[in-house]
Every structure is written in structure tokens, then in C-alpha cells.
Amino acid sequence: MSDFNRGYARSIPADRADMSVDAGLRSFMLGVYNKVALGLVLSAALAYVTGQFPPVRDLLYVQTARGYGMTVLGMIVAFAPLGVILFGMFAMKNATPRSAGIFYWTIVALIGAGLGGLTLVYTGGSIASTFLITAVAFGGLSLVGYTTKKDLTAFGSFLIVGVIGLVIASVVNMFLQNSMMQFIISVLGVFIFAGLIAYDTQRLKMQYYELGGDQAAMGVATNYGALSLYINFINLFQFLLQIFGDRR
């Protein structure tokens, strides 16, 4: 889910990409980070609307004796991003910058709408502080991926397998409702998505060189790269919130 590289081979060793003198690379990465930042702003706004604006909140969530549960519409919104991603992986083989941009913003909007439930479970101060911690961690981890000369390809492949394991464990725990298992999943999730932030940053750096100045391809890569980093950020944020967040 975090690797939208359109099949470009990783033919350039990491130690040959000198970012300090490449203004083109910095511009490319800045475009990715700007999209991530704008995506997070949109997500925060939509999460507030779906979680705190009663007319919208009541369409997605229903209050129960144990807190809040999702309505049918709420479940559709929650699982819609996964459906759109799977559709895009099979249907967007020859994406254009425009179609890739629509793909990115559609997923960001759906994920943001689905995050409204967090505002019902955790305090506003806890969400804000965890978001700040996540942002600082994201910046540091992305910097590591941007500057390291060590090839993280094998490390990234291992982490992607870890994501599959997390998904399976999370589905199992939906039925078991084991708090200790959930804590272990959250801790592992933090480490896995922290590593993926560094890996995806380096992957984007290498992809820039592989594209050889193709502006259309770089437009697509900017959107797909932003989506990878955005998803990593959101997952890291949610796992940190599960560990350190203060519940209402």
C-alpha cells in the first residue's frame, strides 16, 4: 500500500544521489511534502466535521452504552479508502498527473472523514500533542531517509511484510478484543511505519533520478509519493495515539 512506483526499477545506488547539490531533487521532494502537508490539513478539517459537527456525526456514528459505534454509512466511509487504493492499483496502470492527483485527494478526503471517530474517543489536547509528536518524528525520519547513503530496499521489503502481519493481527484482535495484544500491535505499528517513512523517502529520492527529468512522470510520482508518506504519517499518528492518548 505504501509503494506506488509504477514499476520503475531501482537501478541507481543510494550513494550516487547527492541531494546537497541537486536543486531539482529538492524541488521534487518539496512538492511531495507540500501535498502531504495540505492533505493533513484537509484531513484534520474533515475529521473535525465528521466527529464534532452533530448533523454529520450522527450520520456516521451512534452512541451506545460503551461509547460510540459506526453506522452503516460510517463503516462504508471507514473502508472506502482501502477500496479506492485497491481499485487504483489495478485500474491506474497509465496514470497522468491529473488522474494521480484525483486519486490522492480522494483517498485523503476519505481517510480524513473516517478519522472523526478519534475525536469522539480521545481528548482534543491529546490528539493535538500526539499530532505534534508525530510531525516531529516524521520530519526526523524522512530526513534520515533523504540523507542516508545506505540502501534501504531490503529493509523496506521487510517492513512491508510487517504491515501485512499487522493487518492480520488487527483483524484477529477485532474478535478477541485483547488489550495486551492491541498494545503489542500498536508498538510494532509505530516501529514499522517509522521505518517506512525513511524507506519511502529514499525510494522517492531514487525514483527522481530514474525518471530522468520526465515532467509528466514526476507529476504522477509526486502524487503517489505524497500518498505513501501521508498514509505512513496517519498510521504512525494513530498507533502513537493508541499508546499515549488520553481517552474521554
**What mean pLDDT comes out for the span 62-91?**
89
Helix (H) or strand (E) holding 101: helix 97-114
Confidence check: pLDDT of 6 > 70: no
**Joined grid coordinates for residue 75:** 463503516
In sequence order, which ranges of 148-214 are alpha helices (DSSP H)?
153-176, 179-211
Three-state SS letters, 63-76:
EECCEEEECHHHHH
Mean pLDDT of the chain: 89
* Residue 22 near residue 91 (C-beta atoms within 8 A): no
Residues 6+ apart with CB under 8 A from 228: 2, 3, 4, 196, 200, 203, 204
- pLDDT tens for 113-166 read 999 999 999 999 999 999 999 999 999 999 999 999 999 999 999 999 999 999
**What mean pLDDT comes out for the span 170-187?**
92
Find residue 62's DSSP bridge partners: 69
Confidence check: pLDDT of 15 > 70: no
Residue in 191, 209, 202, 195 with CA at minimum distance from that of residue 225:
202
Q: Compute the distance between CA of residue 88 and CA of residue 90 in angstroms, rounded to an integer.
A: 5
Looking up cell 530522468 gives 212
Residue in 134, 116, 144 with CA at minimum distance from that of residue 243:
134
Q: Quick one: pLDDT at residue 98? A: 94
Q: Quick one: pLDDT at residue 114? A: 95
**Joined grid coordinates for residue 126:** 491529546
DSSP state of 12: S
**What mean pLDDT comes out for the span 34-51?**
97
Domain residue ranges in the chain? 22-244
